[in-house]
């Protein structure tokens, strides 16, 4: 039976996305900080497969291909000119292979991915054609390898996002386009995110919204404006790094790119975020840079998306056999009291 498509799933309820790839793979030693290009799909395919798998096991219903920054122009800047085809094809194959491991329920969708190119320049009319070709080239390869829908993400220029929308629609699959809200949350042309969402919806985009740069707390108020501005589906994919009130874009802090670890958010705020997003009427709830499997798992739990029942693990004889039981159960409290220690409760 063919898998249910993204639009059918969205019509039935919240669709739950995955997390961030490049920064986590940098942390694991497979990606170079700074350029953050995605050649890991050909240099360390197993590392990428494993990260996809972690998100899927944590409950993600969509895996995004790691083709962020996989345009020919961006790859050329780091000496990877000519590798565009190989990187894009490998990334889709890897995501598909992992998605195929989930055979129960509705299965997991694979979203093709295009992103900001750094080639768009509103003062140079020829740049639109260059950007269009970069997107078309990536999407042709991703379509050949087999994707279920298209995500265009992390746009600062609405103009570039609209080109991504056009290329995605032309490819003939459902399209999601998300803008990246900087410290000044407007697009670089000066449009509010509500206005960007309206224009993307008018261009035929199926799912509009925001991703990257800000944490959930600094993204949700903007999502509220986006939700009110459009009647199509909306998506939210914030980062897993703490945003400062005066400088919410984590890339603009001195911690970026080599000292992000202390900014990484704990898991609990992501559970709260998922519930707030659902209650706000957000249809596609995921996350971006800095959000790893435990954030995804905590969100899935909060949304009732994790089908795995927690198994019984306490022994029938009632004996304490873990620090958790010693510190957090009545039997543990008895033992500690006998040893003259008050348990931490
Ligand atoms: Zn991101």
Q: How far is the CA of 314 from the centre of ligand 1 (A)?
A: 40
Q: Is the peptide bond before 257 cis (omega within 30 degrees of 0)?
A: yes
Distance 241 CA to ligand 1 centre (A): 10
How many A from CA of 238 to the centre of ligand 1? Answer: 7
Q: For residue 344, is pLDDT > 70?
A: no
20 CA from centroid of ligand 1 (Å): 6
Cα 11 to middle of ligand 1, angstroms = 26
Q: In which band, very low, low, confident or very high, does the pLDDT at 343 lie, cut at 50, 70 and 90?
A: low
Say how many Å lie between the CA of residue 137 and the centre of ligand 1.
23
Distance CA 191, CA 157 (A): 9
**For ion ligand 1, residues whose CB falls within 5 Å:** 212, 288-289
Ligand 1 centroid – CA 31 distance (Å): 15
**How far away, in angstroms, is 116 Cα from ligand 1 center?**
11
**Residue 86 CA, ligand 1 centroid: distance in Å:** 23
CA of 10 to the centre of ligand 1 (A): 23
Distance between Cα 237 and ligand 1 center (Å): 8
In this prediction, residues 68-94 reach a mean pLDDT of: 97
Cβ atoms 95, 47 nearer than 8 A = no
Distance 289 CA to ligand 1 centre (A): 4
pLDDT tens, residue by residue, 116-144: 999 999 999 999 999 999 999 999 999 99
Domain boundaries, the chain: 6-303, 314-345
How large is the average pLDDT for residues 96-122? 96
Going from the Cα of 211 to the center of ligand 1, the distance in angstroms, rounded, reads 7
Topology of the domain comprising 6-303: TIM Barrel (3.20.20)
pLDDT at 2 > cutoff 80: no
CA of 177 to the centre of ligand 1 (A): 14
pLDDT band at 197 (very low <50, low <70, confident <90, very high): very high
Over residues 20-32, the mean pLDDT reads 97
- The model's pLDDT over 266-301, given as tens digits with 9 standing for 90+, comes to 999 999 999 999 999 999 999 999 999 999 999 999
């Amino acid at each position: 039976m063919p898998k249910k498509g993204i639009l059918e799933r969205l019509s039935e309820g919240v669709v739950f996305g995955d997390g961030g790839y490049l920064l986590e793979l940098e942390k694991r030693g497979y990606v170079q900080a700074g350029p953050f290009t995605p050649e890991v799909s050909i240099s360390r395919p197993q590392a990428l497969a494993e990260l996809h798998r972690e998100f899927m096991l944590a409950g993600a219903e969509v895996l995004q291909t790691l083709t962020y920054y996989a345009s020919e122009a961006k790859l050329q800047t780091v000496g990877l000119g000519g590798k565009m085809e190989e990187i894009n094809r490998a990334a889709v194959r890897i995501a598909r292979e992992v998605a195929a491991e989930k055979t129960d329920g509705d299965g997991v969708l694979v979203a093709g991915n295009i992103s900001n190119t750094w080639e768009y320049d509103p003062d140079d009319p020829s740049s639109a054609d260059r950007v269009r070709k970069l997107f078309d080239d990536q999407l042709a390869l991703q379509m050949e390898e087999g994707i279920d829908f298209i995500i265009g993400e992390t746009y600062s220029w609405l103009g570039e996002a609209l080109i991504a929308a056009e290329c995605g629609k032309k490819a003939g699959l459902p399209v999601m386009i998300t803008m990246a809200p900087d410290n000044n949350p407007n697009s670089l042309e000066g449009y509010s995110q509500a206005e960007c969402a309206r224009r993307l919806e008018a261009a035929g985009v199926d799912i509009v919204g925001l991703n990257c740069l800000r944490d959930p707390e600094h993204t949700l108020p903007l999502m509220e404006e986006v939700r009110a501005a459009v009647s199509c589906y909306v998506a939210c994919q914030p980062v897993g790094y703490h945003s400062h009130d005066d400088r919410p874009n984590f890339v603009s802090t001195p911690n970026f790119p080599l000292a992000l670890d202390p900014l990484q958010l704990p898991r609990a705020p992501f559970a709260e975020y998922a519930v707030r997003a659902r209650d706000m009427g957000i249809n596609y709830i995921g996350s971006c840079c800095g959000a790893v499997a435990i954030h995804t798992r905590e969100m899935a739990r909060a949304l009732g998306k994790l089908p795995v029942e927690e198994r019984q693990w306490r022994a029938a004889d009632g004996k304490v056999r873990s620090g958790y039981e010693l510190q957090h159960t009545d039997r543990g409290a008895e033992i500690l009291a006998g040893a003259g220690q008050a348990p931490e409760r």
